[in-house]
Structure 1
Amino acid sequence: MSLEGGCRCGGVRYELASDDLPLTYACHCLDCQTWSGSAFALHAIVAQNALSIEGSVHDFRLPEGQEARPSDHIGCAVCLTRIVNRNEALPNMLVLRVGTLDRSRDVSPAVHIWTRQKQEWLTIDDSTPTFEVSPTPAEFAAALSG
Structure 2
Amino acid sequence: MRTGGCQCGAIRYQCADEPIALYACHCTECRKQSGSAFGLSFQVPRRSFRLTRGQPKRWSRPTDSGRTLGCLFCPDCGTRLWHEPGPASETITIKAGSLDRPVDLSAAIHIWTRSRLPGVAIPADAPQFPGEPED
TM tier, smaller: 0.7 to 0.9
Q: Measured at CA, do residues 89 and 115 of structure 1 come closer, stay the same or move farther in structure 2, by a change above 3 Å? A: farther
Name the aligned partner's letter for residue 104 of structure 2. Answer: V
Q: For the aligned residues, what is the CA RMSD? A: 1.9
Q: Number of aligned pairs? A: 131
Quick one: distance in 2 between partners of 1:7 and 1:125?
30
Identity score, percent: 31
Alpha-carbon displacement from aligned partner over 1:31-75 (angstroms, at most 9, x marks no partner): 10011111000002211111111333223233xxx5122222222
Is residue 103 of structure 2 the alignment partner of residue 134 of structure 1?
A: no
Q: How much has 1:7 moved relative to structure 2?
A: 0.7
1:112 correspondence with 2:110: yes
The residue that corresponds to 2:62 in the other structure is 67
Q: Which has the larger helix fraction? A: 1
1-structure distance, mates of 2:37, 2:48: 29
Determine if contact 2:19/2:43 at 8 Å carries over to the other structure.
no
SS at match of 1:72: strand
Q: How does 1:1-146 map to 2 (within 5 A)?
A: 2-18=1-17, 20=18, 23-62=21-60, 66-68=61-63, 69-88=67-86, 91-104=89-102, 106-108=103-105, 109-137=107-135
Which SS does the other structure have where 2:56 is aligned?
strand
Distance 1:79 1:67 in 2: 23
Structure 2 spans left out of the alignment, 5+ residues = none
Worse-superposed segment, 70-79 or 85-94: 85-94
- SS of 1:130 mapped into structure 2: coil
TM value normalised by structure 1: 0.80
Unaligned runs of 5+ in 1: 138-146
Q: Deviations over 1:108-146 (max 9, x none)?
A: 142100111111111111010111111212xxxxxxxxx
Moved over 3 A (4+): none
Structure richer in strand, relative to its length: 2
TM-score (norm 2): 0.86
* AA aligned opposite 1:67: P
Q: Report how far residue 10 of structure 1 moved.
A: 1.1
Residue 90 and residue 99 in structure 1: after superposition, are their counterparts in 2 closer, same or farther (change >3 A)?
Answer: farther
Amino acid at match of 1:57: Q
